[in-house]
Amino acid sequence: MTIQRIQPGKRMSQAVVHGNMVFLAGQVAVDKPGASVAEQTRNILERIDALLKEAGTDKTRLLSANIWLADIARFDEMNGVWDAWVAEGCAPARATVEAKLASPQYTVEIAVIAAK
């Protein structure tokens, strides 16, 4: 079975496809550093949509999502954007935790796994 690496780099690939599974790296709002949690979440979900499309799938095929928030008090703000984005009847298994992220300008990070 082949392994396809999407946007590979020295440290990581943005996505890896193996069989009928698509694994996305944790995505941050590279286009919106320092923006609100809602704006960062929107930017991340746009990035996820693009990577899923490049891998040959979409958000209706999500299996799992992990979300890290720099401040869990912003949970509702992130969820407002997430709830509007997730496809009706296609909510993945999901975990959300508070964590210190790699750079202080990022307040949200999201990683997903999808089926092809």
Provide the token pair at 31: 């286009």
Contact 6, 55 (CB under 8 A): yes
Total residue count of the chain as it appears in this document: 116
Fold of 3-115: 60s Ribosomal Protein L30; Chain: A; (3.30.1330)
Residue spans of the chain under pLDDT 50: none
Tell me the C-alpha distance between 44 and 69, whole Å.
13
pTM of the model: 0.96
